[in-house]
Amino acid sequence: MGHDEYQRYDAKILTPSFIVLLALTLIGFFLIGVRFVKGIGAVSNMSDGYPWGIWITYDVATGTAIACGGYAMAILIYIRNHMRYHPMIRSAILTSMFGYGLAGFSVMVDVGRPWNAYNFFIPSKWQANSAMFEVALCVMAYTTVLLLEFMPAILTYLEKTDWHTLQALMDRLHKYTGINRPQRMDERLESVKDLAAWLHPRLDKVLIFVIVLGITLPTMHQSSLGSLLLIASTKLHPLWHTGFLPLLFLINCMFIGYSIAILESIISCYAFRRPFELHELTGLARIIPWLTVIWLTVVIGDLAWRKQLGAALSLDFYSRFFLLEFCLVAGGSLLLFSGRKRSSIRWLFVSAALIVLGGALYRFNVYLIGFNPGKGWHYFPALAELMITVGIVAFEILGYQVLVKILPVLPRLHTRGQLDAGKA
């Protein structure tokens, strides 16, 4: 695939939103420091009854689903062979990379003894019965795969760069401190360029196998994220505890993935003042209702089979959250069945947002809201705990914002509308 489909977004990096996001990030990372010095209890409200709080529920279980844009787009493009969406994949992969990388980072903040994590690589410690083992290995592998998938953007940058910033920095250093340029610097930079140029076509050749790995791994660990709660049969409310948890989580991440791809495209086009990719978005929006209909059918069918429909409609605490989740997903999908609404940016945004909210609420319901360890236990995240999550999300957006201004990530503008031809 030619990298001419993509372009750098030419704009200043230091914007007001950059400053705000940076501030939030710094607060978050400061609190992470506190957590490592004083223990998890010092910044969080987690307890022995609720050992998993907002970090696992949002950053890991929900965050990786929201980061499934890359996964969903890859299925569409490479497996269902809709190459016209190809220009959208790089930004989807970039957000996935941040989403997954930071989910992994959150896990390291959340676990109590992260220095023992090397045990995941020691076969005698492997524990194939544990869904957590599968999730951990898969998420690590997938983050690596995403990095590889994103490599072409970095290589293109390295091939084309004239090291402008670096040169300017060296000049300034020389001016103020008298440090001389390292000898043969230009030569070395040139060899980096050559290396990138050598590597790029070779990577392109095998990239498809990496991409397919990037489809297989999320299929595995997204379903396993559902399997994680299978064992909590006495604690998870029967509205959500079912043997179908893995299947429901898998379909859930797919429709969240397509919806988030729509949202990301609309938001970044709006923020970066680019024309909307309406044609592509309408196509994406056509797929979503089919997935949600399958998902909703499994949910209802399973509840009926386990005779829990009464509980679902009882309007107690759990039932209300269930109905809210259900209505958000169903409502968003209903909108997308209408062809006219599908071709309106506003309605696309509304329906995709409803579906992402509903899908995310499902994951919250399974991991937190429907989880009841017994009498006397309560959980609501502490402020510091929330700020750590906010900091991590801010860092994610910050990274995206900066990288699209440095690397060729966003679809090239002049190819829009005739993407099929432009790709060749």
Partner 1 sequence: MARPSRRQFLKVMGITGAALLAGRSSADASEEPVQNYDNTLGMLYDATKCVGCKACMSACKRVNSDYGSLAYEKADFDKDGLWDAPKDLSGSTRTLIKLFKESDKQWSYVKYSCMHCHKPSCVSVCPVSAMTRDKIAGTVDYNKNACIGCRYCQIACAFNIPKFQWDKAIPQIVKCDLCKNTNLIKKGITGCAETCPTGAITFGKRKDLLAEAHKRLQEHPGKYINQVYGEKEVGGTNHLYLAAMPFNKLGLPVLKEEPPAEFSEKIQHTIYKGFIAPVALYSTLCFIAVKNMKKQDDGQGKQSGSGKKKGDD
Query: In this complex, which beta carbon is closest to partner 1, that of residue 364 or of residue 400?
Result: 364
CA atoms of 371 and 317, how far apart (whole Å): 12
Q: Can you tell me which of 136, 239, 392, 393 binds partner 1, judged by CB under 8 A?
A: 136
Q: Pick the closer one to partner 1 by CB: 113 or 164.
A: 113
Q: CA of 150: how far to CAs of 85, 96, 155, 407, in Å?
A: 16, 10, 9, 10
**Contacts with partner 1 in 375-394 (CB under 8 A)?**
375
User: Considering only residues 223, 252, 265, 268, which one is a binding residue for partner 1 as defined by CB under 8 A?
Assistant: 223
Report which secondary-structure segment, H or E, holds 7. Answer: strand 6-7
**Are residues 170 and 181 in contact, defined by beta-carbon separation less than 8 angstroms?**
yes
Per rule CB under 8 A, is residue 340 in the interface with partner 1?
no
Nearest approach, Cβ of 205 to partner 1 (angstroms)?
A: 11
Local structure of 236: helix, strand or coil: strand
- Binding mask 294-333 toward partner 1 (x if CB under 8 A, else -) reads ----------------------------------------
Reading the block at residue 94, the tokens are 């970039």
Nearer to partner 1, 183 or 234 (CB): 234
- What is the nearest approach in angstroms of partner 1 to the Cβ of residue 270? 24
x/- mask, partner 1, residues 2-41, rule CB under 8 A, reads ----------------------------------xxxxxx
Which residue, 289 or 399, is less far from partner 1 as judged by CB? 289
- The residue within the footprint of partner 1, chosen from 22, 199, 215, 350 (CB under 8 A), is 215
Which of 13, 14, 16, 112 touches partner 1 (CB under 8 A)? 112
Task: Pick the binder of partner 1 from 166, 208, 267, 271 (CB under 8 A).
Answer: 208
Token pair of 387, please? 């700020």
**CA 113/CA 133 separation, integer angstroms:** 15
- Counting residues that bind partner 1 (by CB under 8 A) gives 77
Q: Check residue 418 for interaction with partner 1 (CB under 8 A).
A: yes
202 binds partner 1 (CB under 8 A): no
AA identity, residue 270: Y
211 binds partner 1 (CB under 8 A): yes
Helix (H, G, I), strand (E, B) or coil at 410: strand
| AA letter at 77 | I
Report the DSSP pairing between strands 6-7 and 410-411: antiparallel
| x-marked contacts with partner 1 along 47-86 as a string, rule CB under 8 A | xxx-xx----------------------x--xxxxxxx--
Q: What gap in Å lies between CA 396 and CA 407, rounded to an integer?
A: 16
Strand partners, 410: 7
Of 201 and 374, the one with the shorter C-beta distance to partner 1 is 374
Torsion of CA 11, 15, 19, 20, to 10 degrees: -110
Q: At what angle do helices 278-305 and 317-337 cross, to 10 degrees?
A: 140
Span 225-244, contacts to partner 1 by CB under 8 A: 227-235, 243
* Contacts (CB under 8 A) with partner 1, residues 156-195: none
Identify which of residues 165 and 338 has a Cβ nearer to partner 1 in the complex. 338
What Cα–Cα distance (Å) separates residue 124 from each residue in 42, 141, 224? 34, 20, 22
Beta pairing partners, 411: 6
Structure tokens at 227: 């399997």
Taking alpha carbons only, the member of 42, 7, 54, 86 closest to residue 393 is: 54
Instruction: Kindly state the smallest distance separating residue 336's Cβ from partner 1, in Å.
Output: 17
Give me the DSSP letters along 132-151.
HHHHHHHHHHHHHHHHHHHH
- Binding of residue 220 to partner 1 (CB under 8 A): yes
The smaller minimum CB distance to partner 1, of residues 155 and 287, is found at 287
Q: Which of 4, 105, 130, 390 binds partner 1 (CB under 8 A)?
A: 130
